[in-house]
Structure 1
Amino acid sequence: MSERLRPKDLAFLAEETPSTPMHNATVEIFDPGDSGFDYDKLVELIGDRISFVPRYRQRIQQVPGRLANPVWIDDPHFDLGYHVRRSALPRPGSLDQLRELVARIVSRPLDRSKPLWEVYFVEGLAEGRVALLSKSHQALVDGVSTVDLGQVLLDKSPEVKSLGGDQWAPRRAPSPGGLAVGAVRDTLRSRQVASDSVRARAASLLRTADAAAETTGRVLGGVTGRRAAHEGPLVGTHGQQRRVVSVHTDLADHRAIRDVHGGTVNDVILATVAGGLRGWLMTRHESLGGLRRVRAVVPVSVIDSELEATSLGSQIAPHFVDLPIGEPSPVVRLHQVSYSFKVHKETGRGVAANRLAGIAGFAPATFHAIGSRVAAAEVGRGMQLSVTNVPGPQSPLYAAGARMEATFPVPPLPPHHLLAIGVTSYDGGVAYAITADRDAVPDVDVLGQCLSEALAELLDTVSGSRPRVPRGRKGGSARAKPRTTKKTTSSGSKNGSTTGARTGSGAGKGTGGRTS
């Protein structure tokens, strides 16, 4: 029997527009070494393990007359080669070029007639490195029925483990008549199905009304020349194209700040975000008199039992933080952020970051996907920014024997949001990643530089700290070395935390744990 989409999953599909694609993305950089890791080996690896995520071979089928929510059905024409694609960078294969390619790819919505995911194998990075860019729709990865594909591709050792794949054959797709009969039957038998159908229709009507109101507002704004009340440097109407920025820093620096000033590594990360936003807005000559705080939603973990990868999606909750961008003192900003998480800490339901990172086959991509789903559900509640922070493993991971040297998320932009920030720690590093609207935020690379400066400002308050030297140059080598600091660069295309309990390891509060 086919499984129906839940109302929340259906909402992600209904709210998607060409300018607001609702998918998550992750970039992973690998050193193939002697493993021979190439496109063919990636296809073989995914073919060997895709059976662990059966949703990745299913597509969405509408019910005639919309008598009930759509269903997931096996794609009778599933073609792994369509979903696993090959690309390459021109010389010199810099991080700038990689981020530009990523920005172009994440700007394009996924094809709804196919399973809602893509993976790009990117060759041509400097020093023989390769990168994987994965895209998966927010309706696909919920942490309950489905985890991210990356969760099953990464191993803790370079030893290649072949699991043998499966002899998969698609189940026969239901006919239109069968779908209609099934919808009527399920509606009569299940109050939940009937309720979901009613909620889906009501939500559709509300979205239509909101879209009409927004169009009217834009027309009036064009006539009067006035900016809509909800628009500003962080919130407004965005276009289809994106820019991507990543800033690679050292986990040891965050821990040093934590050790001196208290709080958690996650507090340091959010204080860095607050300081970076403050510096960026000042370069724009934005008045901070009326914008003293930025309301951010930070997904937090509320797991208080043994973790299971198949139930993570129901154990993440939104936590609102007022980032004190009007405060000039970096230490005071840090303490204000720490205090904002005091209530969550005192619930006793938080989860240590090292506990999350210790999950077998742990991959930050799944947790970022869950965090983005939680953040998207809070749009309209006054938040101006989403920040998902995931504590990753502090030991190397491998794909088909190739060592993953670095990883960073590419968070989606919620409707009317011009910026989104994702943070991931991995193997001694902390990567900040920013997704921005290409046209509305042309200076997002300045924000990246301001994040680096905000972290350096906090480091300066630590006794005996030394000025930090950027890890690499703008446009330099695409090799991502852990435990060093990279200068920020941006990319784009014209076309086309969770948090929990305190612990001494991990990167900070993210979709998993509140780290100390």
Structure 2
Amino acid sequence: MPSTAGEPGDPQRLVHKPLRIGQPLFVNDPDFDVRRHLHRVGVPSPGGPRQVAEQLDQIHRHRLSHDKPLWEAWILEGLADGRLAVAVKFSHTLSDGVGAVTRILPTILSTDPARDVDYPPSGPPPELPGRADLLVDVVKETAGNVAGAVKVVSSGTRALVRGAAGLLWTTATAPLRRPVGPMPSYWQRRLQNAPVRTGLNSPITERRNTAYVSVPLAELKELGTGFGASVNDVFLAAALSAMRDWLQRHDTLPDGPLQAFVPISTRDVDDEVPNSWSLALVRLPVFVDDPVTRLELITAATNRVKTGRAGRGPSVDFADVIQLVPPRLLGAAASAYVSKQLNGLRPPLFHAACSNVPGPREELWLDGARLEGIYPMGPLFADMNLNLTAISYAGRFGLGVTACPDNVPDAWEVTDGWLAGLAELRAEGSAAR
């Protein structure tokens, strides 16, 4: 993954080095034309959430071209009550979820209803680097990778590599032997079973379908307080309820756990780098019937992750690690991993990605219009067909679901299942009182 340079408003595009050796570069685009990035499209009547999502599906499925800056924005017109929606699509090379909140949102929106949009100053068009410049950069990158490797290793990458290799080997050959946390031994043994392949792990295509919903953030906080859990634990428990419901409808409920890919920001306070994250693999007890027990097991698992991270010191930044891997090698490894020949021979690494991003607490405005909600739509990769990403904003908790419709035909089933999971916990909490 190439590193970004400059300010968030700089129009930068990718340039590949000769023979695609090493990482591509981000350079200022001399041919930048904002009209190539801005689009308007109408939403079919009656302009409700499902019609908006159908339009988002079309926007989401097309890859961004490398011959221009890796972002675009779509104005969706014709929503109910005369509203507009703005869909901002950008590559993960530009930013992760937290970076989008700290770097991208402030360039578009403001807490001041009267503030005009700040356009970056224009200057003389830059020149693209020549072949000789790119060859020189290959040498610099090689030297930089050595320094980067020292940085990453000093942050604990040797332990990370040993742990990752051990995880891959253990997942492929035997149950995990590490306890998940303090919990009854019966559940602990079940969670140690290797994740099994489900309908959520069929090879993905380029098609996407999306759904979104929001609830008061106070509701998740109240549920968390009542059960001794965090907002994130409640989010994960409801996500597990949605996946459990989907598997019961469309597939077989597995006897072992699901495994969630949970990205975690590794930023320091006031750190506004675009990409800085590590990951946790959280075992989800999909085989448990009782929703409160599922929440308790998730809380125990996430507490173990937090305790382990605190004891290990500084977290390893995966953006730094990926920088050290040649793109062609990374692509070849990914292609081999998802190949049909290996599809039935290996267990899945992930069943879903689940991410909860803290967002702005104050209301935001764009040219005098109040932003009513934010709904993030995360990426899919390999054979992981489901992404549930949430962001809190101005007292609301917005969930965006991305799925591959060739394997998960209706993303709205997932949002409905998530809401039903919250309702289950709410009913259990009321009964306990």
TM-score by length of 1: 0.62
Match of 2:182 in 1: none
Q: CA deviation at 1:407?
A: 1.1
Deviation string for 1:493-516 (max 9, x for gaps)? xxxxxxxxxxxxxxxxxxxxxxxx
Structure 1 residues 266, 190: closer, same or farther in 2, change over 3 A? closer
Match of 1:280 in 2: 246
Q: CA deviation at 1:456?
A: 0.7
Q: 1:424 aligns with which of 391, 406, 424?
A: 391
CA contact under 8 A between 2:101 and 2:359: conserved in structure 1? no
Match of 2:344 in 1: none
Q: 2:366 aligns with which of 399, 418, 421?
A: 399
Match of 2:400 in 1: 433
Match of 2:203 in 1: 237
Identity %: 27
Q: Tell me the SS of whatever aligns to 1:296.
A: strand
Match of 1:154 in 2: 109
CA contact under 8 A between 2:238 and 2:422: conserved in structure 1? yes
CA contact under 8 A between 1:298 and 1:320: conserved in structure 2? yes
Q: CA deviation at 1:163?
A: 4.5
Match of 1:252 in 2: 218
Q: 1:321 aligns with which of 260, 282, 302?
A: 282
Q: CA deviation at 1:308?
A: 2.0
Structure 1 residues 273, 87: closer, same or farther in 2, change over 3 A? same
Structure 1 residues 70, 276: closer, same or farther in 2, change over 3 A? closer
Q: 1:134 aligns with which of 85, 88, 109?
A: 88
The 5 A counterparts of 1:106-125 are 106-125=60-79
The 5 A counterparts of 1:154-233 are 154-161=109-116, 163=118, 165-180=120-135, 182-183=136-137, 185-186=139-140, 192=146, 231-233=197-199
The 5 A counterparts of 1:358-437 are 382-437=349-404
Match of 1:22 in 2: none
Q: 2:259 aligns with which of 295, 315, 338?
A: 295
CA contact under 8 A between 1:60 and 1:112: conserved in structure 2? yes
CA distance in 2, matches of 1:237, 1:70: 27
Structure 1 residues 96, 320: closer, same or farther in 2, change over 3 A? same
Q: Tell me the SS of whatever aligns to 2:235.
A: helix
Q: CA deviation at 1:318?
A: 0.8
CA distance in 2, matches of 1:145, 1:64: 31
Structure 1 residues 398, 327: closer, same or farther in 2, change over 3 A? same
CA contact under 8 A between 1:459 and 1:465: conserved in structure 2? no
2:396 counterpart letter in structure 1: G
Q: Tell me the SS of whatever aligns to 2:14.
A: strand
Match of 1:269 in 2: 235
Consecutive unaligned residues of structure 1, counting only runs of 5 or more, are 10-50, 197-228, 351-369, 467-516
Corresponding residue pairs, total: 360
Structure 1 residues 452, 195: closer, same or farther in 2, change over 3 A? closer
Q: Tell me the SS of whatever aligns to 1:463.
A: helix
Q: CA deviation at 1:86?
A: 1.4
Q: CA deviation at 1:383?
A: 2.1
CA contact under 8 A between 1:425 and 1:431: conserved in structure 2? yes
Match of 2:14 in 1: 60
CA contact under 8 A between 1:53 and 1:147: conserved in structure 2? no
CA distance in 1, matches of 2:22, 2:32: 25
2:406 counterpart letter in structure 1: D
2:270 counterpart letter in structure 1: L
Match of 1:86 in 2: 40
CA distance in 1, matches of 2:30, 2:101: 20
CA contact under 8 A between 2:350 and 2:384: conserved in structure 1? no
Match of 2:341 in 1: none
Q: CA deviation at 1:233?
A: 1.1
Deviation string for 1:113-149 (max 9, x for gaps)? 1111100011111111111001111222257899653
Deviation string for 1:195-246 (max 9, x for gaps)? 89xxxxxxxxxxxxxxxxxxxxxxxxxxxxxxxx985311121222111111
Q: CA deviation at 1:296?
A: 0.5
Q: CA deviation at 1:87?
A: 1.5
Structure 1 residues 254, 172: closer, same or farther in 2, change over 3 A? same
CA distance in 2, matches of 1:448, 1:324: 19
CA contact under 8 A between 2:204 and 2:381: conserved in structure 1? no
Q: CA deviation at 1:58?
A: 1.5
Consecutive unaligned residues of structure 2, counting only runs of 5 or more, are 151-194, 312-318, 324-329, 338-347
CA contact under 8 A between 2:93 and 2:275: conserved in structure 1? no
Could you tell which deviates more after superposition, 88-97 or 411-420?
A: 88-97
Structure 1 residues 184, 104: closer, same or farther in 2, change over 3 A? closer
TM-score by length of 2: 0.74
Structure 1 residues 421, 291: closer, same or farther in 2, change over 3 A? farther
Deviation string for 1:136-190 (max 9, x for gaps)? 112222578996533421212212156463133322222234433x246536865
Match of 1:445 in 2: 412
Match of 1:5 in 2: 2
Q: Tell me the SS of whatever aligns to 1:434.
A: strand
CA distance in 1, matches of 2:386, 2:198: 11
